[in-house]
Amino acid sequence: MGKCPNHSGSEIDFRCKSCERGFCLQCMDTMKGLLLCPDCRCRLAVYKMYQDHDRDLEGASY
């Protein structure tokens, strides 16, 4: 199946549900029930942070 791009000594154990790249179990992370690679998990976390921030600003007047 191939080698993990982050851990060259480890075999690919899963594919990221977002980008479809293969990674080992050490890289595996879940967010909202999805198996995600570190890059996609970080992007989703940042996206969620901005969504929450925008929601907090709704109705605010400056």
Distance of CA 61 to the CA centre of its chain: 34
Q: Is residue 3 a part of any domain in this protein? A: no
- Structure pTM? 0.67
Answer yes or no: are the C-beta atoms of 24 and 13 closer than 8 Å: yes
Q: Is residue 20 a part of any domain in this protein? A: yes
Q: Name which residue leads in pLDDT, 9 or 32.
A: 9
Rounded CA gap, 10 and 23, in Å?
8
Q: Is residue 6 a part of any domain in this protein? A: no
Q: Is residue 26 a part of any domain in this protein? A: yes
Q: Is residue 62 a part of any domain in this protein? A: no
Rounded CA gap, 23 and 37, in Å?
7
Give me the pLDDT at residue 18, please: 92
Give me the pLDDT at residue 6, please: 92
Q: Which helix (H) or strand (E) holds 49?
A: helix 38-57
pLDDT tens-digit series, residues 18-51: 999 999 989 988 777 888 999 999 998 888 887 8
pLDDT at 62 over 60: no
Its domain, for residue 21, covers: 14-57
The count of domains in the chain is: 1
